[in-house]
Amino acid sequence: MGRCFCPVLPSPQFGPMSESLLLPHCHTIVGFLSRGCCEEPVSDSTSILCGFGEVEREKNVHQSHSHLAMPITINDVPPCISQLLDNEESWDFNIFELEAITHKRPLVYLGLKVFSRFGVCEFLNCSETTLRAWFQVIEANYHSSNAYHNSTHAADVLHATAFFLGKERVKGSLDQLDEVAALIAATVHDVDHPGRTNSFLCNAGSELAVLYNDTAVLESHHTALAFQLTVKDTKCNIFKNIDRNHYRTLRQAIIDMVLATEMTKHFEHVNKFVNSINKPMAAEIEGSDCECNPAGKNFPENQILIKRMMIKCADVANPCRPLDLCIEWAGRISEEYFAQTDEEKRQGLPVVMPVFDRNTCSIPKSQISFIDYFITDMFDAWDAFAHLPALMQHLADNYKHWKTLDDLKCKSLRLPSDS
């Protein structure tokens, strides 16, 4: 294939943040390593914005959407990107190739393709122009300087959500409003993430932690900012043409799903799903000898549980991706946590994840612990509902990879001979 010219979309790194926008956040996917959310909150007024200092000066990630040029239309996507997106319905889709070819702007391209496939513009009665503007605003408010929580992670979660929505039992349980809400929630679920965890923000006495009473700090910020960015300008307001009741229902569903990604209620969400969805479904299937839709799963309260479980699984699906992708994600989240530990030491804050010290950390051990503690039971339950044999095979293969490294006392992502 000949060399592909890919137009460079505007980078989110334009100018320094104003103080009013220095509102950090983060979600802790290894919360069990934390030592409590707010053990030693700082009182120094100079640290009220989390004491990011050097980190935030390096980021310079915020930009007013009024300065953004419109992206190209979906019909004019360069052939190299279009060709790559032809495979976006596959679970093995390589999001890092899309990241590279779009110059770290994968969300707008993948988003336009996925939203078109699900008829989102038609459902919202909004133009593609408005949707393009919205995607660009949202992507511009992800921090491309974060190792992990950037727009590539958002695109990855959107991809996983769309994949799950295509599974027969999921599709049969939800209506179109649920689908649209899930796709929007996946897109915005980590917007403006600073690359620091909720525990860090609480310990640093950040404005966001104070604002949200040390409770679901980041997740509350992601949802609030997403709606603020959306409705502040009619050019990117994808909700401007739907009636008030539909908007309120859609908004509540989006908020509920994003808040479900906060990990302090992880086991509560999984247990509710197992008890309300999996167990009745298993009992009905056993009694009727058919895999028909279990009674009651379309009840609104059960639809909520399904949507929560879906976005939770999409958010932490890295261990269920093909090995090369799994390894890349493990390296990225480890680097982001190493950076937080470095910052905590510089600022004299409690080190909330002491295993993530870049000088001593065993990445294989951290991945094994994460899979054992959070992933296995949740994906067993989700697989029992959605039927995901390929994901479960990847999970088994990836776990074996980390165990092999750990048995060999290797602390890195791969054996030195494989690098």
Domain extents for the chain?
79-284+298-408
First-to-last C-alpha distance (Å) of the chain: 28
Query: Is 221 assigned a ligand-binding role in the annotation?
Result: no
151 is in an annotated binding site: yes
What pLDDT does residue 235 have? 97
pLDDT at 72: 52
pTM of the model: 0.84
What pLDDT is attached to residue 74?
66
How do residues 197-213 score in pLDDT, each as one tens digit? Answer: 999 999 999 999 999 99
Specify the CATH number of the domain 79-284+298-408: 1.10.1300.10
pLDDT at residue 181 in the model: 98
The CA-based dihedral angle spanning residues 321, 324, 329, 335, taken in that order and rounded to the nearest 10 degrees: 160
Alpha-carbon span 11 to 401, nearest angstrom: 36
149 assigned to a ligand binding site? yes
124 token code pair: 């919202």
Measure the CA–CA gap between 311 and 404, rounded to whole angstroms: 30
Dist. CA 313–CA 289, nearest whole Å = 28
- SS3 of 284-301: HHHHHCCCCCCCCCCCHH
pLDDT value of residue 285: 83
CB 61 within 8 A of CB 143: yes
Catalytically active residues, by annotation = 149
**How far apart are the C-alpha atoms of 231 and 221, rounded to whole Å?**
15
CA distance 241 to 268: 36
367 is in an annotated binding site: yes
Residues 6+ apart with CB under 8 A from 240: 126, 130, 231, 234
190 is in an annotated binding site: yes
List, in order, residues 6 or more apart from 15 with CB less than 8 Å away.
60, 62, 63
Residue 417 neighbours by CB distance under 10 Å: 5
- The reply to whether 62 sits in an annotated binding site is no
What's the confidence (pLDDT) of residue 5?
A: 40
- In one-letter notation, the amino acid at residue 291 is E
Tokens of 153: 């992670």
175 is in an annotated binding site: no
Separation between Cα atoms, residue 164 and residue 310, nearest integer Å: 7
Query: For 63, which DSSP code?
Result: -
Instruction: Give the pLDDT of residue 45.
Output: 27
Instruction: Taking the CA atoms of 377, 352, 143 and 6 in sequence, report the sign of the dihedral they define.
Output: negative
Residue segments in the chain with a per-residue pLDDT below the cut of 50? 1-3, 5-71, 290-292, 294-295
Ramachandran angles phi, psi of 25, nearest 5°: -175, 180
